[in-house]
Amino acid sequence: MHILIYLISSFLLALCISLYAVPIVVRVAHSLRFLDNPNERSAAVCPIPTLGGISIFLSFVFSTMVGLSGEPMPEFVYIMVAVLLMFFIGLKDDILTIPARKKLVAQLIAAAIIIFLAKIRFTNLHGFLGIGEIGIVSGVILTFFAIIVIINAFNLMDGIDGLCAGLSMLAATTFGSWFFISGHFNYAILSFSLVGGILGFFYYNVYSKKNRIFMGDTGSLVLGAIMAVFVIQFNEFNIDQTQPFTIASAPAVSFGILIYPLIDTLRVFTIRLLQFKSPFVADKNHLHHRLLTLGFSHKKATYTIMLMNFLFILGVLALRNFGIILVMGFIFVFSGFLFMMPAYFIQKRKMIKKNDRQQQLLLPGSAYRHLKNRRKAITVARRWSAHRALNPQKVL
């Protein structure tokens, strides 16, 4: 019972700190002109303060330290060191902008701290491709790769309001719930402390007008590093199948929990490489950008993607006992769906533009250009067409 109290207290403390800290960060960012100005890559339409990740980081650190008081967790200090490194690199990038190579070096150092000092790494593949326990070298290489991919996946998700924060809350809640019911209370406290910190930021990022703020690399790099730790530990805690609530297909399930960030990042990197571009050069090929071009608002696009990811999490959890091959097959099919979806959106957008041009021809003069609502324009065009058919002489 006392663990549940610690869990709820950590969540509420993180939420309160985040709600209190964000307006302060907004005022400081405005005074120092640390703003995200609209450009060809940004989804912002007016200058918005960055550095929202400061509130997430502070709330997470304070609430976990309070929640873990008296609980043995020797690796916690090294996790914090790695997260702190990501925090300062993100802060510097938000203020001064640093090259992608330097960010990658910092990510490798953070990964090394997690692997060699915190001693958090993959040691078993749970029978995937017939492979069980793996050696130290293979485990270290695989862990380095996983950490770098996950950090960059969350970094790239910070493209529209609430998306990176929403997906992080969804993943942290899922991991935290499993950590709690399986008896890994320390990591459950870490998870729900993170959820509380993100939730406070999410409110200001999505719903606030006065104190609207972006997460920036300060937040997305921190979230990516913490999520990488959760993924590795989720897999490691599921090795011993004699323990309660273990999941045999843990690698596939953990991949499924982060399905959208991982698959969309892989898809975008593939497109950039095929175009002979650096995979780290930003563009607007992400699925959330395609949704915006179709007329989705930031909020609607964020909730649409979160819903897709949530339904997929339910799917992989429902299939968790059917074997890792079946779960991976389910992931493969859904991944193909995500890969093809942007192409469908592009084609749909072209059809909308074509229909709009056709409807424009039915309106007199330049009336169409003054109609901001496309559906209203089509309705007016149809009425004008009917009127012209019934009253040809008046029209002439």
Name 310's Cβ contacts closer than 8 Å, sequence gap at least 6.
Answer: 170
Number of H helices, E strands in the chain: 15, 4
Which helix (H) or strand (E) segment is 49 a member of?
A: strand 48-49
What would the pLDDT profile of 131-160 be if each residue is shown by its tens digit? 888 999 999 999 999 999 999 999 988 878
Distance (Å, whole) CA 133 – CA 130 = 10
Confidence (pLDDT) at 285: 73
Dump pLDDT digits (tens) for 169-209. 999 999 999 999 999 999 999 999 999 999 999 999 999 88
- What is the tens place of the pLDDT at every residue in 8-25? 999 999 999 999 999 999
pLDDT tens, 83-120? 999 999 999 999 888 888 899 999 999 999 999 999 99
* pTM of this structure: 0.84
Residue 395's pLDDT is: 43
> What is the residue type of 341?
M
Q: Is the CA virtual torsion 134, 137, 140, 143 positive or negative?
A: negative
Distance separating alpha carbons of residues 193 and 65, to the nearest angstrom: 10
User: pLDDT band at 394, cuts 50/70/90?
Assistant: very low
For the chain, domain boundaries: 2-349, 362-395
pLDDT at residue 396 in the model = 39
Mean pLDDT of all residues belonging to the chain: 84
Beta strands 48-49 and 131-133, pairing class: unpaired
Helix (H) or strand (E) holding 195, with range, is helix 185-206
Residue keyed to tokens 């979160």: 306
* Dist CA 15 CA 27 (whole Å): 19
CA-wise closest residue to 264 among 155, 171, 146 = 155
